[in-house]
Structure 1
Amino acid sequence: MRAPTAAASPARSAARRVAAVAIALLAGVAVATAPAGAAGRVPDPVTVNASGADGVVTSSAGCPAGPLTGGRTLSGSDTLDAGVFSSLPTQMAVNLPFRVGGAQSALPPEGIHVTLTNARGSMTVRLDGGTCDAPELLYNGTVASGAATWQVVPDSTSTNAYRNASGSGFFSVNADVTLGGGKPWGLDLLGNISLLQPQIAVTHRAYWGGLGNYLSRTLSVEYRIRNTGSGDAFNVKLLDALPTGSGITRLGPVPQTVGSIRSGATASVVVRYRVCGIAVVGCRFTAGTQTSLTDALDGNPQTAAVPVAVQVPIAPVP
């Protein structure tokens, strides 16, 4: 995460330090007790530290009764560096409808407060900083601050790599909520997110690719890597396809980068081999394919070893 674009006041810094301590203590419990993710894999840990000096605060409805009679909605955005939320730069937009009054403030859990968007899709997060009857944040007449909880809002859009994600954690907020533009704000998120997970299956097609290759016994094997899991696969690589059997030499190339494979889709790579002589009948071998991939947050790296039985074609044409 890049450095904040504006220096915080001593009061804001002190409040943020208190909130950061609280969020760190709470988060230690959350990480230790987090359940296993989809397909038995652990959730992806998420740590986001966002800030800006360009927040815009507008007046909104306060609570109908009680001390939180003022309403202040802060809108802003920040760009998260690659490696914070997956390996891609990510745009983070915030919309924080504070209720303020006295020495307290609240962020009611209704609505969507944070949106994280990159080329793979988007994820929305709802903050729960208390209600009109039970505020959980502080207010000093200028700054709303404190720590509370967040959770992912599920999205079933089929083209969204983060679809049907779930997750929760703790947030720390510190924001100037006086009306106007150019308001400094900071929001930290810490927790875990579970994503739909990819799964790899491998099939193949063996062919000569011409009479010259047939005569030189240079066989091409197209490995079809299919994502049979419910989640999209990223950073897919064919690490190896090592043959077992006499008279077989792998020519390569390996490893090969495949890229991304959506759920239900297939990508292909070709590896060449020097195989049995022309006079050999029934030439076959087993290729031990090894693949690697990650999920949409570039977490849960997994490798798969799939043996593939290859029958060498007899004729020089398919």
Structure 2
Amino acid sequence: MRLSALRPLLVPLYCGILSVASPGITSNTAGPEMPPEAAVSSDGSLYNYTVANHSLLISGFSTKDIKKDIFIDNVLSLKLECTLVVDSMDLQISVSWRHGKDQISSNLYTYNNTDKQWNTAYEFVVTDVNKTGDYACVFSSGTEVYGTFSVIVPPVHSGSKAVVSYNGDFLVLKCDTSEYKPVKWLWFKVTEDELVPVNFTMDTKRYSELSTKLNETKLRISDLTESDSGGYACKADFGEIGESKGQVEIKVISYMVPLRIFLAIAAEVAILVIIIGVYEFISKRKQGQEDVKQDYEPMSQMKSEDSSIAEASTTRQRKV
């Protein structure tokens, strides 16, 4: 009798305990799975990451496809926005987003239009290298116009000119990523088949890394030999985001190489001086001969005239 009297109270209490133990089950039909891109934290940013905003303005369908590079060096949230401005309000325009060749689901981006302006935005978290690449907003109305955001790791600046040094000397190679800061730097010797890591621990006398800033690296190579000639690659590692690489060419030569060049130049100069001297000597000699000839001709003429006068005088004396 007592259990019968308590049954109306025990059943609701038992059902309440079950509902507390299984709070995620509200029906027999499972709801749609929320993708990572749609998970927004309470403060409005995805996964509490810093949100970086980037936008493109497209002026009509006659505009050529425009592109913007976005350099990232760590995990962050990106909000990409495109605005299309058209001349007519009667156009039927569809909006879509692509990552590379893959179509992005329409429930992951927003779009709206006001008068002659269409706006769309796509926000996501760049967690690894698979999230990098080209993201394109596409506006279609008979023809298509694109706005492309290229999400990439920063490039490495290593210089375009080869570095020349001498046997027994040293040199310092430098690479940097502007203001961006990689997780770490790596150096490699470039061979025909592979990149061989520079071993700083095994040969501390010859190789040393002179890094004072996170956004740059310097490699010092001492006691150079001609076998050190070739390429050296510096790699900036940005963790899960990816990596970028630069390359520096060096050429190690003997001190006799510039000496031979100097001697060759000196020999050429000496030959040129000799040729000029010989030419001037011959020119002066010819000029002297011409001057003597010019002086001789008037004297011969004067002698001829004197001889003619003497002969005429003798003839007159005979006639007398």
TM score, norm. by length of structure 2: 0.31
Richer in helix (by share): 2
**Structure showing greater Rg:** 2
